[in-house]
Structure 1
Amino acid sequence: MKPFFALLLMGYACYSQVGIGTNTPNSSSLLEISATDKAFVPPRMTNSQMLAISHPSISSIVYNTTFNTLYIYNSLGWKSMQDTDNSNLICKKSGGTLTVTNNTYYNFPLNSSNVLSQNSSTYDVISNGKIKIKENGIYMIGAQLSVNNMPSGTKAYSIAVYKNGSLIGLLNKNESIQSSNDYWGASGIMTFNLRINDEIDIKYLINNNTNLNLVYAAFSFIKIN
């Protein structure tokens, strides 16, 4: 009878409540931790280490030391607990040189070192102006560009969005008409239906044969549905 009694005790232990710091865990809790002078510390790791976790379970939690915030894993991937429902990505840069050549598109000079805000479960900044989408949805994409030495005369320009190497939209397309060498800027915004693993390129074209002084460059993604 002793082995059978031990088995009953083991079965009871598997299904009873567990308390740490308390002898009376709530009956609705499988595990309850109570303390007034100590903290619960989840696993701490970089963003790369977090993304390298093989087959994480739904509701897994880590502290992401790259972005200094808690992340939780759901059916769409890792999600920052600081994010709102409208997942976003913002990259910006001030100063530098803007490469331009007649009739040639160039990627925005913004990469992972220029990230101001990012939900890593939705976006991956691959290289200059190139973003990989990690969730299906409707995205609002905006971009802006300015220089301080646009030459006089008429210069055609455009800001374009490419998906997987193909043009899908022009955020802005027009001509700059300057009476003298001066400041110039352009911006635009559009919405697109994007899918997991789509690679998006944000590009600009300015018909000028001399590089320009960059004042400001930025682009943003907002997942609206």
Structure 2
Amino acid sequence: MKYLNIRLLAIVTYVTLGIYNVSAQIGVNTDNPNSSSVLDLNGYSNDKGLLIPRMTTAQKLAIVSPASGLMVYDTDYRCVSLYKDTPANPGTFSWSCLTLYNRHFLYMPSVNIPTSDGSGSLLVGTQSINLYNVYYTGFNSPRVKSTGAPAVIPFFNGSQLNYYVTYCDPCITVTGISEAGVMSYRVNSLPNYDAFVNVVFTLK
């Protein structure tokens, strides 16, 4: 009996160790998980995918000490969101959308920058224009689309963007751009027909 108990303990130990060994590499719907993976998911009949946790931006931001590499699906931004920072240094990179059209920078749509008061006189003092609103309006309400295309062009949230002016016609002087994308400027002279300002957005 004593021998049987020892033998049973040996079997249980062996099985337990075997379970731990198997759990180090798990295959779902496959008996041969890839050797480089911890978890290998194989869609049954190739008609199913991986569904990661879904939450709003507020819920995502409320996660306490998110681990570097943590991923969720942001239902507000409609993107897979990755935490690119470490808990020891929060806020440097924060959350970043991985699947939002795979763009790291973009040029904003054409924008008219007022320089006159309507009577031919220059605008005096510091003026402002909301670059993000111009971008949002253009992408949210395109004038023409191709057959079968969605009615709205996918767009970024204002808090996801940095704003740059890479060129400015001498007729105006850009004095600054707020974090929300509001550009301040002063008018120096009436522009000629080819005056323009080149604005670039980048993802944070």
Q: Contact 1:45 / 1:65 at 8 angstroms: preserved in 2?
A: yes
Q: Contact 1:19 / 1:31 at 8 angstroms: preserved in 2?
A: yes
Q: CA deviation at 1:43?
A: 1.4
Indicate the residue corresponding to 1:114 in structure 2: 136
Q: Per-residue displacement from partner, 1:131-175 (whole Å, max 9, x unpaired)? A: 7x6xxxxx743588xxxxxxxxxxx743322579xxxxx988630
Match of 1:18 among 26, 29, 42: 26
Cα distance in structure 2, aligned partners of 1:41 and 1:53: 19
AA paired with 1:79?
Answer: S
Q: Contact 1:63 / 1:71 at 8 angstroms: preserved in 2?
A: yes
Indicate the residue corresponding to 1:66 in structure 2: 76
Unaligned runs of 5+ in 2: 1-5, 86-92, 118-122, 140-154
Indicate the residue corresponding to 2:36 in structure 1: 28
Q: CA deviation at 1:74?
A: 2.4
Question: For residues 112 and 19 of structure 1, do their structure 2 counterparts lie closer, same or farther at Cα, with a shift above 3 Å needed?
Answer: farther
Query: Which structure 2 residues correspond to residues 90-101 of structure 1 after superposition, within 5 A?
Result: none
Match of 1:56 among 60, 66, 79: 66
Give the structure with the larger strand fraction: 1
Query: Which structure 2 residues correspond to residues 201-216 of structure 1 after superposition, within 5 A?
Result: none
Secondary structure at the aligned position of 2:202 is classed as: strand
Query: Which structure 2 residues correspond to residues 130-149 of structure 1 after superposition, within 5 A?
Result: 140-142=164-166
Larger radius of gyration: 2
Match of 2:96 among 55, 63, 79: 79
Query: Which structure 2 residues correspond to residues 100-179 of structure 1 after superposition, within 5 A?
Result: 102-106=124-128, 108=130, 110-111=132-133, 114=136, 116=139, 117-118=155-156, 124=159, 140-142=164-166, 157-162=172-177, 174-176=188-190
Pairwise CA RMSD: 4.7
Secondary structure at the aligned position of 1:24 is classed as: coil
Cα distance in structure 1, aligned partners of 2:174 and 2:39: 54
Secondary structure at the aligned position of 1:124 is classed as: helix
Q: CA deviation at 1:41?
A: 0.8
Report which structure shows greater RCO (CA 8 Å, sep ≥6). 1
User: May I ask how many residue pairs the two structures share in their alignment?
Assistant: 160
Unaligned runs of 5+ in 1: 126-130, 134-138, 145-155, 165-169, 179-183, 190-218
Question: For residues 109 and 71 of structure 1, do their structure 2 counterparts lie closer, same or farther at Cα, with a shift above 3 Å needed?
Answer: closer
Question: For residues 142 and 51 of structure 1, do their structure 2 counterparts lie closer, same or farther at Cα, with a shift above 3 Å needed?
Answer: farther
What's the TM-score, normalizing by structure 1?
0.48
Question: For residues 24 and 110 of structure 1, do their structure 2 counterparts lie closer, same or farther at Cα, with a shift above 3 Å needed?
Answer: closer
Secondary structure at the aligned position of 2:173 is classed as: strand
What's the TM-score, normalizing by structure 2?
0.52
Identical-residue share of aligned pairs (%): 20
Question: For residues 71 and 22 of structure 1, do their structure 2 counterparts lie closer, same or farther at Cα, with a shift above 3 Å needed?
Answer: same
